[in-house]
Structure 1
Amino acid sequence: MKIFFRLARYALYLGLGGALLGCLALGIAYWLISPRLPSAATLKDVRLQVPLKVLSADGKLMATFGETRRIPITMKDVPDRLKYAVLSAEDADFYSHSGIDIGGIARAVWLVTTTGSKHVAGGSTITQQVARQFFLSPEVTYTRKLSEIFLAFRIENAMSKDEILELYLNKSFFGNRAYGIAAAAEFYYGKTLGQLTQAECAMLASLPKFPSTGNPINNLPRAMLRRAYVLGRMLDLGHIDKAAYELAMAEPDQSFAHEPPIEIEASYVAELVRQEAIERLGNEALNDGYVIRTTIDSSDQEAANQALRDSLIDYDQRHGYRGAEAHSEVPADAKPEDLASLIDGYRTVSGLIPGVVSQIGSEEAMVQLLDGQTAALDLAAVSWARPYVDDSRRGPAPKRVDEVLKLGDIIRVVRNDEGAWQLAQIPAVQGAMVGLEPDDGAIRSMIGGFNFARSKYNRATQSSRSAGSSFKPFIYSAAFDHGFTPASVVNDAPLVFPDVSRPNGLWTPSNDDGKFDGPIRLREALVQSKNLVSVRLLDAIGVHYAHEYVTRFGFSAQQVPENLSMALGTAAVSPLSMARGYAVIANGGFLVDPYFIAEITDRDGKSLYRADPLRACRDCPQRILEEEHERSTSNPTTPGTAFSPIASAHAAADIPAGGNGEPRLAPRVIDARNAFLVTSLMRDVIRRGTGSGAMVLKRGDLAGKTGTTNEYRDAWFSGFNAKMVATAWVGFDDFSSLGSREFGAKSALPIWIGFMRAALRDMEEQSFDMPPGITTARVDRNSGLLAPAGDPDSITEFFKTEDVTQLATRPDQQEEEQREAYDVF
């Protein structure tokens, strides 16, 4: 018996000694580690990573950018069924312990001792997990574990339990880039927290344990086992009753990937916003909860998307079928799942759905699609698919379906307007479209290619393509500022120039139709897009003068060649720069800066930046006073007087939020009367010229110009009314020919029409007001000279007032100038 008491005493001494040594070790550890630990108080000001949101002008989501999906919440947003599911799964005693679970730590120590592994389950409370998530690395070391415990105590002393749980729910990783319980609910179930069922709450609560390998999308069986465990724990702890448990256990899981609900497709603009955000806001721009509202109008953008898509597909089908995207051998006994595997790597592109030909006959082909359904294609569905030969030739029309398709072909299909399936193909041709407001340059729509996922190259802003005849209005504007009028006559006749760079040593520009009309008034020359008239006109006013003059429209001197080819649109420009140039004409002569960011707010909704763009603002009191002062001190419209090129003012992106409330006035770069005259010519281009296809819109307030470059490499149409300017371009990225007769009116104008039809649907016709100093006079339709009263062959023409005066008082001089103009060569 004495031996027993003695041994017990020794055991007590050893235990006390061990406890003292343990306390001493913990004290030393705390002394060593504590100075390096952060203050828990910083958690009160923690800024969770929240992705950047990009919105349209009318508040529709265009894109989100960031490393994580996260929607911050507060505890009042968390229903009890979700709260107790999380506690049951992770820390049942959360509201009663002091930050650590002694029993859990003891079990973890025992397992480490007996197994020799540091990777053991248990031991971490929610408070410890918060400490690890915010302050510590995931490495498995004893030092890190001790730091976690010490930090847990600090956090418990600095924050309430609800604050700690809120941090945990916002910070935890739930798989598939979803950080935070609200982002997880949206991604897996497309719901807010309040909409979740009990079963869904249990599933989400189970995810932080195995977020990547145990989520219901990657591993449903394992996720269902974890869900059952959480529901069982909730039943055992009394958070749900037996009936609720059985109902939740019986509920099938309906999770699938719910991507952010993008409401408007504007990927090319969204990428510009992302780049601007990083440049303006720094490296944290994509993760600091900023919201950027753009100038994009969602309905205008949808119209641009549809117009570009339809027009490029129409062009592609005009030039024939290039064949299947790929081909695979299909076994005779192939099952639906075998066929599905053949198209597993293909994705729908702008509505064009991939499929594999599973059955083929002379009258019909069956195509299995990605979703498992089958599309039937008859002869009518493939009738357009004449074989592609080259850019200007196609083979014969198919007479049998199996002339076009073969078993195992990987193809694209789409539903037509009647809902029937039709053969399709992804266009090889590309296009771009920009729509902006001429008053301030606000971009209302932009699309830089057929599909952003296939090509991120933004042809609307990054391309440099020859503008063709769509550049002529700028040359005509220069001529009107140099003394020419819409009634001036220039000779449309052949020209030959020496050019050592050409094989025969000669440059012989010609008209698109190869015809010559002789002396022709400038109005008719632009309506018919006469190239030779433009060349003669440019030579008459001087290449150097014109080269400087066109920079007023926002083009750089480097973009425009300083030679006679400028008259044929050899300037290398982008659709956006063309739209900006046309905006000068549309708004009465002011250079505005295109912009796409309207406002930036932080995560709390505070406005950090609001655009303050340069505005034409013709009716503003400031503008009226400014122009009255200019008229009283100078005469900028004297024939032959040139403005010096005006550089673009600071872009709207350089203007901070705020201001004095007065608009910033855009600089005037051409006379209002000049802009009116050019507009009047371009209105006739649409009424009865190369742009007459736009008359389908049945509006009288449209002006524009087609453009086609050598060998049909580029097709353009730029046009406007008083409220909207739009430019459309079509071409191949490798500068291949679009094919014979693919003029701007055929390839690009349909895009412009499709966009403007929607953009102007609810807009009343806008008058082009005649500015002061413009008058009308009757002229001879052949000579362009003033016609005598009662002349039945005369027509009405617009003039600057001083030009009519000069015609009336010095007709001999005017006739001589006319003769010189068309006898330039």
Structure 2
Amino acid sequence: MKRAFTILGITIGVLTALGVAAVAGLYFWAVRDLPGFTRIADYRPALTTTVLARDGSVIGYFYRENRFLISLDEMPKTLPQAFLAAEDAEFYEHEGVNPVAIFRAFLINLRSGTHRQGGSTITQQVIKRLLLTPERTYERKIKEAILAYRLERYLSKDEILTIYLNQTFLGSNAYGVEAAARTYFGKRAKDLTVAECAVIAGLPKAPSQDNPYHNPEAAITRQHYVLRRLRELNWITEAQYDEAMRQPLVFKSMSDGMGRQGAWYLEEVRRQLIDLFSEENAKQLGMDLPVYGEEAVYQMGFTVQTAMEPSAQRAADAALREGLEAFTRRQGWPGPVEKIPAAKLKERLEKSSFAPAMLANGERIRGIVTLYEDKGATVSLGKYTGFIDKAHLAWARKSIRGKQKFLEPGDVVWVSALGPDPKTPFKPEEAAPDKLIPLTLESVPEVQGALVSIEPENGDVVAMVGGYNFRESQFNRATQAHRQPGSSFKSIVYSAALDNGFTPASVLLDAPVVQFLESGDVWRPNNYEKNFKGPLLLRTALALSRNLCTIRVVQQMGVQKVIERAKDLELEPHFPEVLSVSLGAVAVTPLNMTQAYTAFANGGMVSKARFILSVKNFWGEPVYETQPDLRDAITPQNAYLMSYLLKEAVNAGTATKAKVLGRPVAGKTGTSNDWKDAWFIGFTPHLVTGLYVGYDQPRTMGRSGSGSSLALPIFVEYAKTALNAYPPDDFDVPDGITFANVDPSSGHLVSGGGLRLPFYTGTEPGSSTSEEAISGVNTRGEDLLKQMF
């Protein structure tokens, strides 16, 4: 018997030793290639970069993974509790691995014949998400358990839970609880109710299957499970449970910034940020980043403060959009986008999809006409039906000629939705399949445009629009389109002229000009109106934008003086030494041209356009800051004379439509040859705004496509809102300026009446300097006239 016990003991000992050896072998086999877990402590997830307007409102976001890092203190107490209740109720008791939960999951899986229950703790899930692959193998589970055990000795429980709540994927491109709160409930995580916390906490198990937008029933079923677990664990009271079960859930996403209205501005900021954080530039600025360029912008969670003024940006977007639409309507209705054959109409109607939100914010969509009668047109919009009253068809019917049919079933047309009155927009949430949606017939503009608005004191770009629809074309006409500025370039010519012997009272001859070119061709420029006015004061020639007067000025002082002034004002293109330069024949960008005009508004200093004011890292620490970049370009006296003369263009010249603004405004229209480009650049002491309109592939817009008839009205509509932010100041008169009354025909000094004009002190009529200058200018003009006749 004793021998038997001895043998049994030896056997048990051997087996125990073998078991220990096997476990040890398994352990060493599993840890032979374990990844280092200590980098989890330096947790740096990909974070969302937030771009802010000047007032702190959000313009938009940049991200690969939509994630906002927050601490446990920034969450309602119920939010982490809900995740623990759903995923790992014993989190604060176990040491990274929960054997009881694993055994319980094993039994459940054994009974069901599936692998639905994993028994993983939150610590193990952190390890899996950050260090291991998602494959389901025993080797990975062993590694996961070992690393979880180690991690629990390296980080606190709260630190691990914080990482989990910020890292986990919760569907709809939302990573972490803050992004989920914004995505599903349109609020910050700190404002979530118990019911809402339970919805988000129910998502990790199956974020796509239980997505509230795709499968609200599944999301609510999962929410009820989480609420029951919270009650069973006594982490919420019976009253809280009942209230949460009764709370109606409204799923809505937080606005993704300004959307369409800030799209081009946001894209320009993105482009500049990528350049700023390029490895070469960042290192020159002393920045040591884990990633550079685009990856830095999309992962580092910066907060970017910009110069955008939201009210100005919204006004700019609306003014340009409405101006392009109005021009398109004046051109006539082009007809339906498509005509669906009768045999295919039923099939197309069945396949068409539509959601009322597609018509929000004045958006246009395609609808299919199903009935046209005298009172209007019925339009199919998927499961919804719209109706265009005859009053909203009138503009298009006028453009239909002869026996051509206007509308018929199967016509695909552009439409937009109407609100109950002109001041109340369409509300998508009020639409219903059994209720007609009021529509208006639209014609989507092919013509494009750009608007850029700069504060001259600091260069801040308060608004920028780069085209009609960013979703259809991301080409930014404000910064990327090089177009001939036409007569808006004359301001550069006359600025140079004032420093080269001319005064506002110089007499210029408005008569034909003929130039024989080296090629043998003959250049015969003309005025816009195809007529001649004879002798004009320089003030009048600029106000009326007379081409031939401008050419004579350049002939007398030389093209090189104009080019030098263009470079002084930091215009970027190469300017050839040809007379056509004076009429705006060299292409520039709207941003560059508008920036040049800041010198006239800002006492002679060009204000470099500034979009980004500052960048902070995720912890709110400054990373990059900008200061206004102001550069001397012309004298304060030259700037004042130009602002005064360009006010005359508004008071009595080609820009009189701007008088409706009721404050001191200066500006210059511009139209390139054959009405291919329309410009207006208007300014006050506090705001300089450039407006351009034209086709991307240049072609004529017709006589209604001039700077005064197309670009200027858009500026006026924008300025009605944008200028409200600034006082109605006039331009300050610097030292060295003298006013004098002159005869409007001869430019001679008069004792009373006439035109009151500013001059460089010492060049006003009656001074020796002035008489010599005017005599020289007029003599050269007379000589040219004799040569021509």
TM-score above 0.5, yes or no: yes
**Other-structure match for 1:575:** 590
Unaligned runs of 5+ in 1: 388-393, 616-665
Aligned match for 1:799, one of 743, 759, 767 = 759
**Other-structure match for 2:516:** 498
**Other-structure match for 1:379:** 390
Tell me how many residue pairs correspond in the alignment.
753
CA positional deviation for 1:449: 0.9
Q: Deviations over 1:539-584 (max 9, x none)?
A: 11111232222211111351x3321101111121111111111111
Does 1:290 pair with 2:302? yes
Contact 2:617 2:623 in 1 (8 A): yes
Contact 2:748 2:765 in 1 (8 A): no
Aligned match for 2:639, one of 675, 682, 686 = 675
Query: Which structure 2 residues correspond to residues 553-572 of structure 1 after superposition, within 5 A?
Result: 553-558=569-574, 560-572=575-587
Does 1:324 pair with 2:327? no
Return closer, same or farther for 1:79/1:522 CA change in 2, 3 Å cut-off.
closer
Instruction: Using structure 2 for the length normalisation, give the TM-score.
Output: 0.87
**Other-structure match for 2:119:** 123
Q: Deviations over 1:258-308 (max 9, x none)?
A: 453548931111111112222223232222121011011111111111111
Aligned match for 1:413, one of 392, 416, 438 = 416
How far apart, in 2, do the equivalents of 1:69 and 1:507 lie? 60
Does 1:66 pair with 2:63? yes
Contact 2:502 2:774 in 1 (8 A): no
**Other-structure match for 2:548:** 532
Does 1:746 pair with 2:749? no
Counterpart of 1:740, as a letter, is R
CA positional deviation for 1:796: 3.4
Contact 2:742 2:765 in 1 (8 A): no
How far apart, in 2, do the equivalents of 1:7 and 1:410 lie? 95
How far apart, in 2, do the equivalents of 1:810 and 1:243 lie? 91
Return closer, same or farther for 1:261/1:525 CA change in 2, 3 Å cut-off.
closer
How far apart, in 1, do the equivalents of 2:781 and 2:588 lie? 29
Counterpart of 2:733, as a letter, is M
Counterpart of 2:199, as a letter, is M
Instruction: Using structure 1 for the length normalisation, give the TM-score.
Output: 0.83
**Other-structure match for 1:521:** 537
Query: Which structure 2 residues correspond to residues 215-614 of structure 1 after superposition, within 5 A?
Result: 215-239=211-235, 253-262=249-258, 265-281=261-277, 282=292, 283-328=295-340, 341-343=352-354, 347-348=358-359, 351-354=362-365, 355-369=367-381, 374-386=385-397, 394-396=399-401, 403-404=406-407, 406-415=409-418, 417=422, 421-499=439-517, 505-558=521-574, 560-614=575-629
Return closer, same or farther for 1:817/1:235 CA change in 2, 3 Å cut-off.
closer
Counterpart of 2:81, as a letter, is Y
How far apart, in 1, do the equivalents of 2:238 and 2:771 lie? 105
Secondary structure, in 3 states, of the residue corresponding to 2:462?
strand
How far apart, in 2, do the equivalents of 1:810 and 1:22 lie? 108
Return closer, same or farther for 1:121/1:22 CA change in 2, 3 Å cut-off.
farther
How far apart, in 1, do the equivalents of 2:747 and 2:73 lie? 79
Return closer, same or farther for 1:817/1:225 CA change in 2, 3 Å cut-off.
closer
- Of 461-470 and 138-147, deviating more is 138-147
CA positional deviation for 1:241: 6.5
How far apart, in 1, do the equivalents of 2:246 and 2:55 lie? 43
**Other-structure match for 2:19:** 19
How far apart, in 1, do the equivalents of 2:772 and 2:561 lie? 26
How far apart, in 2, do the equivalents of 1:346 and 1:131 lie? 41
Contact 2:65 2:174 in 1 (8 A): yes
**Other-structure match for 1:211:** 207
How far apart, in 2, do the equivalents of 1:498 and 1:160 lie? 86
Secondary structure, in 3 states, of the residue corresponding to 1:738?
coil
Unaligned runs of 5+ in 2: 278-291, 425-437
How far apart, in 1, do the equivalents of 2:654 and 2:135 lie? 71
Counterpart of 1:679, as a letter, is S
How far apart, in 1, do the equivalents of 2:607 and 2:76 lie? 52
Contact 1:490 1:520 in 2 (8 A): yes
CA positional deviation for 1:11: 8.8
How far apart, in 1, do the equivalents of 2:684 and 2:344 lie? 61
Q: Deviations over 1:741-776 (max 9, x none)?
A: 321011101121122211222533212232222223
Q: Deviations over 1:426-482 (max 9, x none)?
A: 211111111111122111111111121111111111110000001001101111111
Contact 1:55 1:293 in 2 (8 A): yes
How far apart, in 1, do the equivalents of 2:156 and 2:770 lie? 93
Query: Which structure 2 residues correspond to residues 652-667 of structure 1 after superposition, within 5 A?
Result: 666-667=631-632
**Other-structure match for 1:55:** 52
Q: Deviations over 1:762-792 (max 9, x none)?
A: 53321223222222334333332345x57x7
Does 1:776 pair with 2:739? yes
Q: Deviations over 1:9-38 (max 9, x none)?
A: 8995686355323322244236624xx542
Does 1:75 pair with 2:72? yes
Root-mean-square deviation (Å)? 3.5
- Of 65-74 and 404-413, deviating more is 404-413
How far apart, in 1, do the equivalents of 2:557 and 2:42 lie? 67
CA positional deviation for 1:239: 4.4
**Other-structure match for 1:691:** 655
Return closer, same or farther for 1:237/1:112 CA change in 2, 3 Å cut-off.
closer
Contact 2:502 2:773 in 1 (8 A): no
How far apart, in 1, do the equivalents of 2:502 and 2:264 lie? 42
Query: Which structure 2 residues correspond to residues 804-815 of structure 1 after superposition, within 5 A?
Result: 804=764, 807-808=767-768, 811=771, 814-815=774-775
**Other-structure match for 1:722:** 685
How far apart, in 2, do the equivalents of 1:414 and 1:586 lie? 41
Secondary structure, in 3 states, of the residue corresponding to 2:305?
strand
**Other-structure match for 1:662:** none
CA positional deviation for 1:252: 5.8
Counterpart of 1:413, as a letter, is S
Secondary structure, in 3 states, of the residue corresponding to 2:50?
strand
Counterpart of 1:409, as a letter, is V
Secondary structure, in 3 states, of the residue corresponding to 1:423?
strand
Counterpart of 1:21, as a letter, is A
How far apart, in 2, do the equivalents of 1:97 and 1:243 lie? 30
**Other-structure match for 1:636:** none
